[in-house]
Structure 1
C-alpha cells in the first residue's frame, strides 16, 4: 500500500555500526563488524527497528575454512554474508571488486572508514540514474570503505525511496594512493541472501522474440546472464532478473527483482555456495573490462535498482513500473500523454517521395492519428542500406522542400512530425566515412566486420560525438520535429579506441556507452520537449538506462500480434505499458507471414504506446472505420492504460493445457474505478474446456458494468462486484456460446478461428 505521508529513514546505531534503511514497506539492514567489514544482515519486508540486530551474524567453525585472524578458527569471510566481498582474503566466491595494483597483486582489504546520511538522491556523474523532485522522496546512505595499502577508496551508495519498496545501489571508486591501479571488476549490486530457495527468472530471446520469461530453480554453482555485445544491453538477455520463492505466483509470494540502469555490457548472476547462501550480483561485465585509474582519479559504476514484493511477480512489477513513472522517465514526458503515431517504414520502406508521405499522413490524420514518423531513407544518398549513414542532411531528390517543407505540410494537417536517426553507425559509402575513416571502431591490422552493411562509430571519441551532435542539432533546428526514433542496428566487433593507449583499451565499451548517453543529454538539453523513442533493431536496448532519456522504446521489430503477446508480456515484468512501443502493422505480417485480424492486432497494441505501421490507403472502408473507432477508444482510455496498475493474468509461457493456448492481462486505474481486460486465444481447439478469468486489483466493494469490445459474450452489459470478479471469476467461455458453435453458430469470441481476442471494459456504476 502506498501512503502520501510515507517516509524513508536510516536508523543508525553507532554503538555497533548498524544501519537500518526502512520506509514501512521494506527493510535493509547492514552492519560493520569489528574487522571493519560490511555485512548484510537482512533484506525483505519491513521490520520494526531494534538497537541491535547482531544476532543475525552467523559464524561457525568449518573444516577447510581459511581464516584471516591468527588463532581464530571461527571467523572466515567465506561463511559471512557481505555487502562488498573481495576474493583472496578467505572468501572464494565471486567478488564485488577486483583491483590490479602496480605489483600485479589483486588482493585488497576494504574496511569501513565512515558514513553519511542525506535526504534526497545525488546524481551520478556521466551516467543515467533515478532521480527525485524533492529531498523528502528518498534517503541516501553512503558507506565509505578504504583499502589502506593502496589508498583506494570505495563509496557504496544506497538510496531508499519513500513511497515504494525500491532501492538503488552503486559504487564509486577513487584512487587516493600514489600509484595507478586497474579496476577489472566492479559490481553495482552485491546481495547475499540467507538461503537458496528461490526461482531465478530471466528475460531472454533474440531479435524478433525478445524478453521471453524463463524460470529455473537455483542450484549449487553459478547461474548467469549477460551481454558482451558492446553497444546494447542486447536482445539476448535483458539486464533485469527476479528471485522468487518457489510458491510465488503473479499475485502472491515473495519476489526480489533487480535491474541495471545501464545499456552496455553487463552481467547478472546468482552464486549458490555449499552452505545454501545465494549471492546476487549485477554490474558491468568484467570480461573485456579494465579501467585504468591514475592517482586522484575516480570511477562511478552504473546504478542498480532492486525491489521487494510480498505480492508476487505483479507486486514486483508494480514497484518497477512506479519507479519508471516517477523517478526514471524525464519530467517533461512523465505526465504528458504519448501521441498516437503512424510510421511509414512497413508502408513504403525506401520507396517514397514527399507527396506519398503526405498522403499517408493525411489519411492517418482523418483517423485520429496525432504523429507522423518518417523512417529510414530521408538522408544523404540513402536508397538502400549500403549508403548514407553518417550524412544527416535531407535528400533533396526525395524531399525537394527539405525536412522543413515536409514537416510544415504535416504540421498543417494538425499532426506532429517525427524522424528516424541511426546516429551511432556509418556506411563506408558516405561523406562522413570518406572524410574520417579513422572514426570507425576497428582494430589496427585486423579485419573489420560489418553488420547490415554498416559499421560502428567510435563514440568513445568525443570528436565523433561532437560531429554527430552538430549534424542532428542542425536537422532538429531547421524543422518542427517533435519526435526522434533513435535506432541502433548492430553490435560492436573489433573494439579498439585508436585515440587512447594500450592501458585504456579495456575502457572502450564503457566509454562508448558514456558517449551515447552524452549525446542524449546534449540533445535533450537543447530540445527539452523532444520525445526520443529508443530502438535497437527493435528491443535490443530495452533497459532502465535508455528509459532515462527515452520515455518509450520500440519493443521489437516483430510486429506480429501473436508474437507480441509474449514479447509485451515479458517486457511488462519490469517496464510499464507507457514505455512499450507497440503498433498495429500490415498483414500478412512482414516478419512471420501470419494473418491476424485487425481486431486482435489492435487489442494487443493498445496495451502499450499504440500506433500504426501501415499505409491507410491499403485498408478497406470497413477497416478504416474500425481504425477510427480504435484510435478513439485508445485516446479515451490512454491515461488509465499508461498510468494504471498492470496485472498479468494468464501467461503465454504457461504450459498448462487447461489454459488452451490462451493469454490474459488487465490494467486498472489508480482509483480502481475502471479497468480493461485483454483476453486472447492463440489457437482454437475443438471441445475446449470452459474457462474463467480471475481478475485482480479491483475494489471488492465497487460494482462494475462489463462491456465487451471486439467479440461476443453473454456477460456483456452485466454488473458484478469487484469481489465477485476476483474470487468467482469472470466467464471467458460459456455453455450456450460453445454449444451454438457446434450447430453452426458462433462461440463467445465470434466466428471460431485462431488468434482471436476481445477486450472487457469495466466501469464503476
Structure 2
C-alpha cells in the first residue's frame, strides 16, 4: 500500500512502514523504515482511501499522515556549527545533519552520496529537489536489468496474494536540468520494498561517476553491519562489525562478479539482536557484477546505508536526453531477529525473483559425473555410472566438463561447442536417449562466457576475448573472458547454446564461470567509455540468459561460478538455483549453507553428497552426515557409485527414499536457524518439519541432549522421531570384546566377517510432544554413548561421534 498526502509518503507492508516527506526546500527527508507505525485497524482503514490526493475521502489519511510526519520529522532551528547552510532562503537546513532519501555532492552533505555526476563544465555539484510523484498499480520491470516484479498477475505467497504497487518520485537538478527518478515497489505480504534509480540527462552531456540503488538513513548509530565473505570453496562466512564511527564496507570492486569474496546480501541490526529477537534489516541487490554496500556513522548520531554498483569500476556517459537505470535493490525488516528477516527474504526470492517453469517445482535428485571421473570418461563409463544411479532411484544424470571440442583438461576447447566424438560417438542425442531409457533425465555442463586460446573460436576471433590489444593478458584457469559488450559475441553464444540444447533431450544445464576478470577492456568501446565495460558485460549476459531461458522454458538451469562465486539475485532471476560451493566437505558445507540461509532459500542452493576422503579437504565424514547436510537444498550425489560397497549402496538407497518423501519440506519449507549450528525446515501448514543436528565435538559422560525447535504450532501435538542410522560393528573398535563371546582381533578375519553381518543398534527416538514444548523448552533426546558401556538391548543409547549428525522428523499427530 502506498499513500501520499501533502508531500508525506507512506509505503506500508503487512508489518513494516516506510515514510518520507518533502521539505520546503524540496529535499526528501527520510522519516522511518522499520516496525509499523500504524495499527491493524488504521491499516484496514487506509486501504479504503485513495492513494493520492487531498479530497474529502482521504481526510482521515491526511490527518493521520500529517501527525505521523510531524512527530517523526527533525526540528532544526538553525544549521549546526561548521555546517553548510543549504541556501539563504533556508538557512536552517544543513543536509549533513538530515536523514535523506537521496543525497548528492556539493550542497553540504559530506556523507556517502547516492549519486555523483560530472557535468560538462567539470563540476560535480548536483542539487536534486522534488518535482513530482506518480503511482502505478501495475509493476513495471526495469528496462535493461532483471527485476523482481509482478508481470501481469498477482503472485501467491503462501496462502495469500501479494498485491504489489509502485511509486515513482522524480527529482530535478535546479541548475542543470538532470532528472533523477527513484522507483519504489511495495510487496505487502512479503514485507519487502524494492528501490532503484533512473538518471535522465537534461540539456547537457553528463558522466555518472556513481549511482546507488538504495539509501537508508537511520536516526541512530552504533548499528551492527553483517556481511558475508570468503574465497573459492570457502564462501559465506558471517562477519559482524559495529559501526560507531567511520564506515563499514562490503564490496566486490574488481572481480567482475558478485563474488565469493563479498556477497551482495548484508544485514543491519542493533547490538542486542539475535536470531529470534531484535531489530533486523536485510538488504540485497538484483545484480551479478561488482557491488558496493556500506554503512557509515557520523557525529550527529546518524547512520547511512547505501548499496549499488561498485563505483570503483563504474562510469557511464549520457548524451542529452539519455537515461541510465540502476539495478534493483531489495530490503526487508523484522522485529523478531534474523530468522524473521530471512523468512521475508526467502518468500520474496522464491515468488518474485525466481520465475518460470521451475519456480515452485520440486528439484530432481541428480548424479553429477565431475568428481566421479573428471575429464576421464567416455559414453561407456558414463552409462555404467548412470545404470548404478538409476538403480538407486536417482532421477537426473548430469555430464559435467569434458564432452566438447578436444577437451581432455582445462587448457583447451572452451568456445568450441561441438561434441567430442572420440568420447561420445553417438553425440548428445544418442547419450541422452540411452539415459532416458534408464528412466532418468539428462543434463550437461557448459561454460559459455569463456574461451581458451587453444580453441577454434579463438583462432578465428581472437578479438572476441577480453584483453588490452598489444599488452600481455593475465589468465585464470587457462582461460579468457568473452567480450559480452559486443552484440556479435552475444549472438554467437546464443546460437551455439541453442544448437547444443536442441541436440538431445536436455532437461538440465549447469552454467559455469570459472574465472574472474582482470583486464576491463572492449575494442568496441572508445577509450573514454571503457569504464562502462563491466556493466555492459552484464547487460549482454542477461540478454543471453533471457533468450535462452525463454527458448528452453522446461530446462532446469543451475548457475555456477567456480562454485558460489556468483551467487546473487541477478542470476536467480533467470536460473532458479545456484551451486553453493565447490567444497562438498559436509563439515565445511554446514557453515557455508548456514551463511547462505540468511538471504537465500534452500530451493536456490545446490548441495551434493561426495566421496570420502573429500576431494577438497581430504577429510573423512560419515556418509550419513554428508546426506543430512546436503538434504537442505537442491540435492544430489557427486561420487563414483560404481566404486561403493554394498552397505553404502543400501545406505544411499535409503537416503534417496527418505529425501523423496520429505523433499518439498526440505526444499521449500520455512527455514529456521537453531542454536549450536542446528537448523530445521517447516512446511507451510506447519504439519511437518525436518530438524538437523551435528555433533561437532563428542565428549565423554555428556549424554543428555535437548533439541528445541522453532516455527511449529504451539497448540498442536507432534510425533518426534529420528531418521534411523545404522552403525558398523567396527565403530566400536576393540570395545567389542567387552560383550563378544570370543576375543576379536581388530581388522582380523573374524572382525571383518562380524562387521559384514552385525550392525550396532542405535537410538530410536519416539515421543509425542506439543508444539509449545518443542518450541519453548525442547525435548530431551535419548542418551548418547558416554564411555562407560553400551546398551546391547538396542535403541536406548545412541552413538554420536564427532562429525556424526541426525535428522529428526516432526509430524503433526
TM-score scaled to structure 1, two decimals? Answer: 0.94
Q: Aligned-pair distance for 1:231?
A: 3.3
Q: Aligned-pair distance for 1:729?
A: 1.1
CA contact (8 A) 1:330 1:548 kept: yes
Q: Which residue of 2 aligns with 1:655?
A: none
The one of 695, 720, 729 equivalent to 1:706 is 720
Q: Aligned-pair distance for 1:743?
A: 2.1
Q: Which residue of 2 aligns with 1:417?
A: 442
Residues 603-625 of structure 1: per-residue CA shift (max 9 Å, x gap): 00100010000111111111111
1:152-163 superposed matches below 5 A: 152-163=178-189
Residues 96-117 of structure 1: per-residue CA shift (max 9 Å, x gap): 0001111111001111111111
Distance in 2 of aligned mates of 1:293 and 1:691: 63
Q: Which residue of 1 aligns with 2:31?
A: 41
The one of 18, 25, 28 equivalent to 2:18 is 28
The one of 164, 181, 190 equivalent to 1:138 is 164
Distance in 1 of aligned mates of 2:704 and 2:272: 26
Where 1:373 maps in the other structure, the secondary structure is strand
Is the counterpart of residue 486 in structure 1 residue 535 in structure 2? no
Is the counterpart of residue 58 in structure 1 residue 104 in structure 2? no
Q: Which residue of 2 aligns with 1:628?
A: 653
Q: Which residue of 2 aligns with 1:87?
A: 105
Q: Aligned-pair distance for 1:733?
A: 6.1
Where 1:51 maps in the other structure, the secondary structure is helix
Q: Which residue of 2 aligns with 1:695?
A: 709
Residues 181-217 of structure 1: per-residue CA shift (max 9 Å, x gap): 1001000000001102421111111111100111122
Q: Which residue of 2 aligns with 1:357?
A: 382
Of 70-79 and 275-284, the range deviating more from structure 2: 70-79
Residues 643-669 of structure 1: per-residue CA shift (max 9 Å, x gap): 211100025xxxxxxxxxxx2100111
Where 2:488 maps in the other structure, the secondary structure is helix
Of 478-487 and 222-231, the range deviating more from structure 2: 222-231
Residues 519-567 of structure 1: per-residue CA shift (max 9 Å, x gap): 1001011111111100000000111111111111000000000000000
1:555-570 superposed matches below 5 A: 555-570=580-595
Q: Which residue of 1 aligns with 2:765?
A: 716
The one of 290, 309, 312 equivalent to 1:287 is 312
Q: Which residue of 1 aligns with 2:141?
A: 123
Q: Aligned-pair distance for 1:738?
A: 4.3
Distance in 2 of aligned mates of 1:583 and 1:187: 37
Is the counterpart of residue 727 in structure 1 residue 776 in structure 2? yes
Distance in 1 of aligned mates of 2:146 and 2:698: 46
Distance in 1 of aligned mates of 2:31 and 2:688: 42
The one of 750, 760, 764 equivalent to 2:808 is 760
Residues 330-351 of structure 1: per-residue CA shift (max 9 Å, x gap): 1311121111110000000010
Where 1:583 maps in the other structure, the secondary structure is strand
Q: Aligned-pair distance for 1:71?
A: 6.9
Is the counterpart of residue 164 in structure 1 residue 180 in structure 2? no
> Please, what is the CA RMSD of the aligned residues?
1.6
Where 2:432 maps in the other structure, the secondary structure is helix
Q: Which residue of 1 aligns with 2:468?
A: 443
Q: Aligned-pair distance for 1:283?
A: 0.1
Distance in 1 of aligned mates of 2:528 and 2:584: 44
Is the counterpart of residue 13 in structure 1 residue 5 in structure 2? yes
CA contact (8 A) 1:692 1:733 kept: no
The one of 482, 487, 494 equivalent to 1:457 is 482
Q: Which residue of 2 aligns with 1:383?
A: 408
Distance in 2 of aligned mates of 1:713 and 1:47: 53
Is the counterpart of residue 266 in structure 1 residue 279 in structure 2? no
Is the counterpart of residue 114 in structure 1 residue 122 in structure 2? no
CA contact (8 A) 1:87 1:94 kept: no
Of 190-199 and 52-61, the range deviating more from structure 2: 52-61
Distance in 2 of aligned mates of 1:742 and 1:516: 62
1:201-600 superposed matches below 5 A: 201-600=226-625
1:668-687 superposed matches below 5 A: 668-687=682-701
Distance in 2 of aligned mates of 1:294 and 1:29: 34
Where 1:628 maps in the other structure, the secondary structure is helix
Residues 11-43 of structure 1: per-residue CA shift (max 9 Å, x gap): 1103xx011011331110111111111110111
Residues 122-152 of structure 1: per-residue CA shift (max 9 Å, x gap): 1111211112252562011110011133221
Where 1:610 maps in the other structure, the secondary structure is strand
Where 2:231 maps in the other structure, the secondary structure is coil
Judged with a 3 Å threshold, the aligned counterparts in structure 2 of structure 1 residues 230 and 509 are, in CA distance, closer, same or farther, namely: farther
Q: Aligned-pair distance for 1:454?
A: 0.5
Residues 561-585 of structure 1: per-residue CA shift (max 9 Å, x gap): 0000000000000000011100000
Unaligned runs of 5+ in 1: 1-8, 652-662
Where 1:154 maps in the other structure, the secondary structure is strand
Of 594-603 and 441-450, the range deviating more from structure 2: 441-450
1:623-662 superposed matches below 5 A: 623-651=648-676
1:94-109 superposed matches below 5 A: 94-109=112-127
Where 1:388 maps in the other structure, the secondary structure is coil
Bigger CA radius of gyration = 2
Q: Aligned-pair distance for 1:633?
A: 0.9
CA contact (8 A) 1:211 1:570 kept: yes
CA contact (8 A) 1:67 1:76 kept: yes
Paired residues, number: 740
Judged with a 3 Å threshold, the aligned counterparts in structure 2 of structure 1 residues 190 and 628 are, in CA distance, closer, same or farther, namely: same
CA contact (8 A) 2:722 2:808 kept: yes
Of 132-141 and 575-584, the range deviating more from structure 2: 132-141
Where 1:214 maps in the other structure, the secondary structure is strand
Distance in 2 of aligned mates of 1:693 and 1:750: 15
Of 248-257 and 484-493, the range deviating more from structure 2: 248-257
Q: Aligned-pair distance for 1:683?
A: 2.4
Judged with a 3 Å threshold, the aligned counterparts in structure 2 of structure 1 residues 113 and 748 are, in CA distance, closer, same or farther, namely: farther
Distance in 2 of aligned mates of 1:385 and 1:745: 54
Residues 297-343 of structure 1: per-residue CA shift (max 9 Å, x gap): 11110000000111110111100110011111113111211111100
CA contact (8 A) 1:231 1:512 kept: no
Q: Aligned-pair distance for 1:679?
A: 0.7
Q: Aligned-pair distance for 1:732?
A: 4.4
